[in-house]
Structure 1
Amino acid sequence: MMKILITGSKGFIGKNLVYKCLQEGYEVIEFDRDNSINDLASKIHEADFIMHLAGINRPKETNEFYEGNYDLTQKIIDFVKPENRNIPILLSSSIHAAVDNDYGKSKKMAEDTLFNFSRETENPVFVYRLANTFGKWCKPNYNSVIATFCYNIAHGKDIQINDRDTELPLVYIDDIVDSFISCIGKEANGSIKNVEPIYKIKLGEVADLLYKFKNSRDDLFVPNLSNGFEKKLYSTYLSYLPEDEFSYPLKMNVDNRGSFTEFVKTVDRGQVSINISKPGIVKGNHWHHTKNEKFLVVSGKGIIRFRDVNSSEIIEYLVSGEKLEVIDIPVGYTHNIENIGDTDMVTVMWCNEIFDKDNPDTYYLEV
């Protein structure tokens, strides 16, 4: 089993990478700030591949940039040399390596010393310059605006935006982890690597999306999951929910027949609702011009009846929670659903459009 040494294993990227490597069947050797330099030497002796994530981005003193980013990288090289074997090294650098500040300089120095080591020894190295990273397990109110916004909005706290038009280059944690792992067993080409896709999003747009996610518990609209960034940001947002607020109530429209409850709405995929009918109750007896539905009885027993509005012939389908079967409700057919069992009948109902009280496209007609 290949052994992967991950430095900075307790950090944001490190924790995600550890789990993924284990899931892929690799043995993981962890190194973090609780370990000593002597520990690092012994761990490198065991390793078949080094993923070097450890670094400093918010030090108390400027010199800590160079100690945590450049010096640590050099120590790894110094420990690899006596091994007399090629141990591929992957460095997690930053787009700030192209910026003229102490953080950027220290990252650039780490990159350069790795590339020089590779040229001298032909030891494979992979250097990634990462954009701003977002995803689960990133520490809020530290150095990630996405984590901070997600946490604060999910917890009902205010956020601060100095300029809504500030554009952020963002990369998702799972894309990073997958790209890192893809380097195992591959040849290095000696060039700077980037993780794709990089999403360039304005700060104000991020905030608007996060507030939309928060409000979705009231208006029931789910995110646009065809948009890669929105899909990943929603997953990230959910990871910051307070542990006592994973659940939220739905508005049940209750009467003596049972209840009808809207569950999920979408902009372009209609909505899903839950219908509960008491024994002996008949619901429906209406038809539609364009609106169409799918009924799925998941508990209880019933009959769904249809009649073409131009015909007197009645069509019946027996439905039951014991045999899950979807029934399409075509346009032009008046229809009803009757609970013929002894218990409540629960039906999941999908409709191709959001209910519009001003244009319901629903016309009463007995089956």
Structure 2
Amino acid sequence: MLRLAVTGAGGFVGWHVRVLLHALGWPAPTVISRTDLADPAVVAQKVAGVDRVLHLAGVNRGEPADVAAGNVQLAAQLANGLRACAEPPAKVVYANSVQAGNGTLYGDAKATAAAILGASGVPLDDLLLPNLYGEHGRPWYNSAVATFCRVLAEGGQPEVHGDREMDLVHVTDAAARLAGVPEGGSWDPAMPALRIGVRALADQLAAYAGTYRTGEIPPLRDRHDVRLFNTYRSHCFPAHYPLALPTRADARGALVETVKTHGGTGQTFSSTTRPGITRGEHFHLAKVERFVVLRGTAEISLRRIGDTEVVRFPVSGDEPVVIDMPTMWAHNLTNTGTDELLTLFWTNELFDPERPDTWPEPVDVEHRMPAGVQ
């Protein structure tokens, strides 16, 4: 495992880097805030002897001149700290853009920033990133995917102003590449891209939203389908839950349709839980997981990795509902009743003991991954 220092730790890419490192049990990266960047001595102290400095801080939106100046300034500040360091880091990895040097103020500023870092005397890995998407991206800032997902989650329809093809890479794959995490889980540092048009993307996400409105699972035929769906779900949580499940009852008993899928793999299992016992206490990076309590009463609790707020859902088998676990949220289920609890679980993939995508993490805990700052 590598020792890392990170600028932009509180941003979209920075949060996903820290979640991945946290899952793997790597040391928490040293956070270099924007206040730190203004003082070369502080930067020098924080980067001394680390294996990689990930330069993720940047300005993506705003007045073009301000965006350009901001990206150049951040790189210059980091370079000043690198030159002042008595024990320089082994490498700087720059989260650059495929737009670098494209003639726009933003693209030329990103290219200039790379040149400044390259002249610092520390080896530079200038990583040209395409469009990144993933859970908890900021709409109207990080990507069109985040914007479309938020609009759909709020009941609107995405507007497409000009169609074009683009390459989309999931942010966890980019995080693995930036941090030097080898392939071996639900991530891929080779950063496989999805080539898709803007209108086709909007249509695909709108189809997900329409299918999922009643709790049905849309077609999840490959890893990008799963990750796009998880990205959409991140904008639905927690406001859209629980999802009610109609119960059909007659003299023979009752019937509840718990999972309806439109394509892809899946696995269903059930468990009993004794009174007062808690199950779960983990999170997933990519797996879709559904809880449905069929008998007894319980509380389902969730906490986003790096946050402190806990979201709690009281549920009962008398009125079955769906709670789908968002990725990168620790979750558990506690039997709050006096009788045995019966719960149905569904996941979108067959369990693989070599790659379980289940990372231990208590929901209620004092020591958590620090929130980080930009």
Q: TM-score, normalised by structure 2?
A: 0.63
Q: What is the alpha-carbon distance in structure 2 between the residues aligned to residue 206 and residue 145 of structure 1?
A: 9
* Correspondence for 2:80 among 78, 81, 100: 78
Does the residue aligned with 2:200 lie in a helix, a strand or coil?
A: helix
Q: What is the alpha-carbon distance in structure 1 between the residues aligned to residue 130 and residue 245 of structure 2?
A: 39
Matches within 5 A, 1:275-354: none
Q: Quote the residue 1:288 is aligned against.
A: none
Percent identity over paired residues: 25
Q: Quote the residue 1:208 is aligned against.
A: 203
Q: Quote the residue 1:255 is aligned against.
A: 250
Amino acid in the other structure paired with 1:133 = L
**CA deviation vs aligned residue, 1:26-64 (integer Å, no higher than 9, x gap):** 2321123354511434423474421001112223361x3
User: Residue 5 of structure 2 contacts residue 53 of structure 2 at CA under 8 Å; is this kept in 1?
Assistant: yes
Q: What is the alpha-carbon distance in structure 2 between the residues aligned to residue 156 and residue 230 of structure 1?
A: 21
**CA deviation vs aligned residue, 1:86-114 (integer Å, no higher than 9, x gap):** 41111000011041111000111122233
Q: What is the alpha-carbon distance in structure 2 between the residues aligned to residue 51 and residue 11 of structure 1?
A: 12
User: Residue 111 of structure 1 contacts residue 127 of structure 1 at CA under 8 Å; is this kept in 2?
Assistant: yes
Amino acid in the other structure paired with 1:162 = H
Matches within 5 A, 1:21-32: 21-23=21-23, 24-32=25-33
Q: Quote the residue 2:9 is aligned against.
A: 9
Does the residue aligned with 2:34 lie in a helix, a strand or coil?
A: coil
* Correspondence for 2:43 among 30, 40, 44: 40
Q: TM-score, normalised by structure 1?
A: 0.64
Structure 2 regions of 5+ residues with no counterpart?
Answer: 183-188, 270-293, 297-338, 347-374
Q: Relative to structure 1, is the Cα distance of residues 126 and 183 closer, same or farther in structure 2, using a 3 angstrom cutoff?
A: farther
Q: Relative to structure 1, is the Cα distance of residues 244 and 220 closer, same or farther in structure 2, using a 3 angstrom cutoff?
A: closer
Does the residue aligned with 1:157 lie in a helix, a strand or coil?
A: coil
Q: Relative to structure 1, is the Cα distance of residues 260 and 218 closer, same or farther in structure 2, using a 3 angstrom cutoff?
A: farther
User: Residue 94 of structure 1 contacts residue 130 of structure 1 at CA under 8 Å; is this kept in 2?
Assistant: yes
Matches within 5 A, 1:56-75: 56-60=59-63, 62=65, 64-75=66-77
> How big is the shift at 1:137?
2.2
1:157 aligns with 2:156: yes
Q: Relative to structure 1, is the Cα distance of residues 129 and 195 closer, same or farther in structure 2, using a 3 angstrom cutoff?
A: farther
Q: Which moved more, 1:37-46 or 1:148-157?
A: 37-46
Q: What is the alpha-carbon distance in structure 2 between the residues aligned to residue 44 and residue 135 of structure 1?
A: 28
Does the residue aligned with 1:254 lie in a helix, a strand or coil?
A: strand
* Correspondence for 2:54 among 51, 56, 63: 51
**CA deviation vs aligned residue, 1:122-163 (integer Å, no higher than 9, x gap):** x33211111111111211133521111111111213421224
Q: What is the alpha-carbon distance in structure 1 between the residues aligned to residue 58 and residue 236 of structure 2?
A: 28
Q: Quote the residue 1:19 is aligned against.
A: 19
Q: What is the alpha-carbon distance in structure 1 between the residues aligned to residue 127 and residue 32 of structure 2?
A: 19
Q: Quote the residue 2:164 is aligned against.
A: 166
Amino acid in the other structure paired with 1:11 = G
Larger radius of gyration: 1
Q: What is the alpha-carbon distance in structure 1 between the residues aligned to residue 208 and residue 215 of structure 2?
A: 10
Amino acid in the other structure paired with 1:17 = V
Q: Quote the residue 2:232 is aligned against.
A: 237
Does the residue aligned with 1:226 lie in a helix, a strand or coil?
A: coil
Amino acid in the other structure paired with 1:235 = N
Q: What is the alpha-carbon distance in structure 2 between the residues aligned to residue 48 and residue 10 of structure 1?
A: 20
User: Residue 223 of structure 1 contacts residue 231 of structure 1 at CA under 8 Å; is this kept in 2?
Assistant: no
**CA deviation vs aligned residue, 1:145-194 (integer Å, no higher than 9, x gap):** 1111111111213421224x42222111110111112279xxxxxxxxx9
Q: Which moved more, 1:18-27 or 1:93-102?
A: 18-27
User: Residue 22 of structure 1 contacts residue 28 of structure 1 at CA under 8 Å; is this kept in 2?
Assistant: no
Q: What is the alpha-carbon distance in structure 1 between the residues aligned to residue 148 and residue 31 of structure 2?
A: 30
Q: Which moved more, 1:152-161 or 1:6-15?
A: 152-161
